[in-house]
Amino acid sequence: MTCVHSFFQGCFVFKPSSKKRKTRSLGETCVNPKSKNITWIYVLLEVLQEELNKKILDSLLDFAKKCSTTRQHCDWASKMRANEIPTAALVLGVNVPDHDMTFQSLFDLLKHSVTPHVVSVQAKECGVLKHLLKRVLEGLMDVAVDDDDEEEMEQNPRSVHCSLSTLSDWYTAKTKKSSSATPGKKRNVQDEDEHHHHHQTPPVVIIFKDLEGFNPRVLQDFISICSRYIDRLPLMFIFGIATSPSTVQHMLPHSVSSLLCIELFQSLSCTQHLATVIDKLILTAQFPFKLNGKVMQVLISIFLYHDFSVRNFIKGLQLALLEHFHSQPLSILCCKKKEALLNVTLLSGRDLETVRQLPSFIRFVEKQEAGEQVKLMTDDDHLKEACQKLIKDLRKYHKSYYPVLRCLHTLTSLLPRYPLGKQIRELHLICLEKNVWENEDYQSAMKLLKMLAKDELITSLRKCSEILSSAKSKKMKKAFTELDELLAKFKHLDVQEEPESVTSPIRNLQQQKKTDLFQLQKTLLEMNESRRSKKKSPFELLRNEVVEFIDGLVTCHLPPPESQTLYEVCYYSSSATVRRHLNATPRTSIQTALSSPCFYLQNESLKNEDGTVSNSAPDICIAYKLHLECGRLINLYDWLEAYATVVSAAEGQDPDCDTFGKVDDVKHARFIRSVSELEFLGFIKSTRQKTDHVARLTWGGC
């Protein structure tokens, strides 16, 4: 998190000019709430990260502690299998970039509460056994240097004694020394003492961050070496696995895996992880910054389609946040209620002008009476008052939006085939887009709700009432009491209900001894009639009432944010920017640069109306343009000729002149350079199929 932190600070150090202007007009108060807002988000994110990993880390810690204690047991059974190395297989999912954070916190936790001897290794540093050993030794003994005296280390030059016996000697020396308890160093005394109370021999933990990346051979050798020292050196392994636990069996033969005592730890799947993040950060009213539907869609699709990385999702959120505060001058109003109301009073004339031009505000003004319209457009103070009211309204909207959204989700997530999505984020996206109640799926969902069984309906309604009860706004309180009344009515039903004996036609049918086709048809028709005309049971009536109530809540509280006035203050909507930043398209940018150089160079003379490349474009653009006209194999000489002609035209030579289009040394050199640049960019490559020809590597062409 620290790097992101500094990123955000950096953003404020290099304030763009527009920002500066604003700062001047608003004084100090403007920057403060914003930065406060942002830091608050970061704190929240950190807490969230810790929370997410807490469960699995705790169980790992327990495992480590258990291992170190069972080793000291002297009973027969544990002695018999003392030569197994305890190993935790930690399955983390394929989103490898997220793992670093987990491992870092695991590392810190282990160090803090179990053992000072922890080292984590990565596959890319350990191509051969020697490097792995070296990494392990360095990682462990460096700690020793920090903790204790340096003399010992100076005596043995490190690289010579790169073997586990050195480590085991070091370990025995260390444990012996610390058990003889020579206090002297101030820093670690307390820490060390703590260890002695718990256990004399803290385990040595080696974390393999990415098991898949390791060379199986190296790992096998390392494990078999380690098992030779297990009696002297209480080792413990943690394998970080990205794919599936069966990888362990693929990598290690039986002779090696029999040296390990593997226990499996499965972390939350990344989709669950994302659900928590969305739940805590996005579906909450306490946090004024919002994403609109499109940006949300971009972030979620990057997650689902590309990387499964929660960290990247959060990065995307942070990017959107920074972009919002950077590009939207009215974002000063995007903060806590009190500050927002205060900031409204501090708005400058220019800011108020921006407010007047907001599409949502224009819509709002159009609905007002004529006199009011004029007032809003001309009177600054009046506008400020109106703004304060509008900001309050927006907050109220949010306060009721999320509880109702959750209620609707609890109800619709029961329905078969999930008409409104399985996850709440899908429902949220639908609601952000347009009026949800106009959605066909919504209508079918409501129909299905009217057919729900009693117990299902009641349990989900109970959940809804819980959600509503935790909401704070007045409207939600009202809705809560209404729902409670409805629930009470359901309870009443239970008491009242009497077994009704209805002589159903089907029973008549059963009573008849012989059924012919005609009879059957008749009875079925009768049944149909009776069903249509049948009076609804009290439960059905009540159920309809409940569904109507929910429908009412939805139409009242779930209109899309675009319908709210001043929504631009809180909602970030530039999905293109986010996509451009997060989902880079290197190929497209190169092609844009080559086919229309003016896009990047911003040189007026390069612009051509018909989209073709002008003669005066950079050499590589001309060469690229010409190569597009060729087939799969390009004759270099023809290419050069064509190039020379174009360049001559650009130099303004007379087309009738003798030297026009002739290749001179300079042109030749320029051509060669652009061709090699194209080769470097991967558009062409040399080929041995034909002399003086290069092969085109891109599709298309004539």
Q: Please say whether the beta carbons of 552 and 407 come within 8 A.
A: no
**CA 197/CA 640 separation, integer angstroms:** 82
- The residue ranges of DSSP E strands in 297-395, in sequence order, are none
The helix/strand/coil state of 691 is coil
> Does the protein bind other proteins through residue 133 (CB under 8 A)?
yes
**Residue among 164 and 340 whose Cβ is closer to other proteins:** 164
Binding to other proteins, residues 280-319 (CB under 8 A): 302-308
Do 671 and 640 meet the contact criterion of CB atoms below 8 Å apart? yes
Is 561 in contact with 432 (CB distance < 8 Å)? yes
The site for other proteins, by CB under 8 A, has a size of 66
Does residue 583 belong to the site contacting other proteins (CB under 8 A)? Answer: yes
The region of 162-170, 181-189, 274-282, 471-479 touching other proteins under the rule CB under 8 A is: 162-170
From the list 4, 44, 261, 342, which residue makes contact with other proteins (rule: CB under 8 A)? Answer: 261
> Contact letters (x/-) for other proteins, 317-346, by CB under 8 A?
------------------------------
How many CB atoms within 10 Å of residue 187?
9
Say whether residue 212 binds other proteins (CB under 8 A). yes
**73 binding other proteins? (CB under 8 A):** no
One residue of 588, 602, 689, 691 binding other proteins per CB under 8 A: 588
Are 526 and 505 a contacting pair, CB within 8 Å? yes
The minimum distance between CB 282 and other proteins, in angstroms, equals 20
260 binds other proteins, rule: CB under 8 A: yes
Nearer to other proteins, 137 or 394 (CB): 137
Q: Which is nearer to other proteins, 317 or 355 (CB)?
A: 317
- Cβ 621 to other proteins, closest distance in Å? 21
Q: Does 246 bind other proteins (CB under 8 A)?
A: yes
Please, how many CA atoms are within 13 Å of residue 620, restricted to the half-sphere of its CB? 18
**b vs e for 441-468, b when ≥16 Cβ sit within 10 Å of the residue's Cβ?**
bbeebbebbeebeeeebbebbeebbebb
Taking CB under 8 A as the binding criterion, the range among 208-216, 399-407, 519-527, 662-670 that sits at the site for other proteins is: 208-216
**Interaction between residue 576 and other proteins (CB under 8 A):** no
Spatial separation of the C-alpha atoms in residues 301 and 307, rounded to whole Å: 9
What is d(CA 58, CA 79) in angstroms, rounded to the nearest whole number? 27
Among 175, 215, 266, 444, binds other proteins (CB under 8 A): 266
Handedness of CA 690, 691, 693, 697 (dihedral sign): positive
Q: Are 400 and 477 in contact (CB under 8 A)?
A: no
| 106 in contact with other proteins (CB under 8 A) | no
- Distances from the Cα of 164 to the Cαs of 68, 122, 143, 167, 341, in angstroms? 20, 18, 16, 5, 66
221-240 residues near other proteins, rule: CB under 8 A: 221, 224-225, 228
Q: Check binding of 64 to other proteins (CB under 8 A).
A: no
Q: Which of 585, 605, 608, 676 binds other proteins (CB under 8 A)?
A: 585
For the range 654-661, what are the long-range contacts, defined as Cβ-Cβ under 8 Å and sequence gap of 24 or more? none
The single residue among 1, 43, 47, 94 that binds other proteins, judged by CB under 8 A, is 94
Neighbours of 238 (CB within 10 A): 25
The yes or no reply on residue 257 touching other proteins (CB under 8 A) is yes
Concatenated DSSP letters of 58-94? HHHHHHHHHHHHHTT--SHHHHHTTTSEEEEEEE--S
Binding residue for other proteins (CB under 8 A) from 349, 499, 586, 652? 586
Beta bridge partners of residue 238, listed in sequence order: 88, 207
122 touches other proteins (CB under 8 A): no
Q: Report in angstroms how near the CB of residue 396 gets to other proteins at its nearest.
A: 38
- Alpha-carbon span 303 to 582, nearest angstrom: 11
Q: Which residues bind other proteins (CB under 8 A)?
A: 76-77, 80-81, 84, 86-87, 89, 91, 93-94, 96, 128-130, 133, 159-160, 162-165, 210, 212-213, 221, 224-225, 228, 242-249, 254-255, 257-258, 260-264, 266, 269-271, 302-308, 583-588, 682, 685, 697
